[in-house]
Amino acid sequence: MRDTDFFRSWMTEAAAAVDREAGWLTELDSPIGDADHGSNMRRGFTAVLAALDADAPATPGAVLQLVGRTLISTVGGASGPLYGMLFRRAGKALGDAAEVSDPELREALAAGVDAVAQLGGAAPGDKTMLDALVPGVAALGTSYRAGAEAAADGALATVPLRARKGRASYLGERSIGHQDPGAASSALLLRTLADIAERAEGAR
């Protein structure tokens, strides 16, 4: 079972990864966007850490809902409301349980991903974060590491795609040949989840 600490650790690890990779995420957002995805995400996850410290939410669901609300109010851009929705909906799905099972977490994240698709009107293949999130969350059924790897593969597979949603879609054909920044950050989030899950196993 995964307790509140597990989710706090995930967010701490995610914030560190976003901080480390912010330059790269912004670089990905240069040719097919407005070169702000890394700074948007860094601002959001810095605020997430501050909010978790200030509020100390008591359950996994409350952690994820606070993360979602914080991302909505701080990330900006297209990705802020979408990542906000992902975490808020997943948090809601977890309810007020003190601990959640791996299948419950997977189901909650799947509900979050569905909500992102509904809010943004995108589907896999449109060259967005969904190209990492959909295969990544599906593969969590195998293992956390399999989820991280499927998300990374999905992010890389956005390179030859033509963007059909978001800012990159304005470029039409010229969006081809570049990795989608949101797919890259989504893969990062699932990689940190796998890292934390493996660390928790090791500590048992």
Instruction: Pick what 91 binds: ligand ADP, Mg ion, none; C-beta below 5 to 8 Å, kind-dependent.
Output: none
Least Cβ distance, residue 134 to Mg ion (angstroms): 21
Q: Which of 139, 154, 153, 134 is nearest to 194 (CA)?
A: 139
> Given the complex with Mg ion, which of 27 and 198 has the nearer CB atom?
27
Q: Which of 67, 152, 55, 137 is nearest to 102 (CA)?
A: 137
> Interface with ligand ADP by CB under 6 A: which residues?
29, 33-34, 36-37, 40, 77-79, 82, 120-122, 128-130, 165-167, 180-183
Q: How far is C-alpha 83 from the chain's CA centre?
A: 6
Q: x/- site string to Mg ion, residues 82 to 111, per CB under 5 A?
A: ------------------------------
* Number of other residues whose CB lies within 10 A of the CB of residue 202: 7
Please name every residue paired with 99 in a beta bridge, in sequence order, or none if there are none: 3
Least Cβ distance, residue 80 to Mg ion (angstroms): 10
Select the residue whose beta carbon is closest to ligand ADP and give its number.
182
**What's the rounded Cα separation, in Å, for the pair 195 and 20?**
15
Least Cβ distance, residue 166 to ligand ADP (angstroms): 3
Least Cβ distance, residue 3 to ligand ADP (angstroms): 31
Please name every residue paired with 3 in a beta bridge, in sequence order, or none if there are none: 99
> Given the complex with Mg ion, which of 36 and 126 has the nearer CB atom?
36
Which amino acid belongs to residue 151? A
Question: According to CB under 5 A, which residues from 25 to 54 bind Mg ion?
Answer: 29, 33-34, 36-37
Do the beta carbons of residue 32 and residue 175 sit within 8 Å? yes
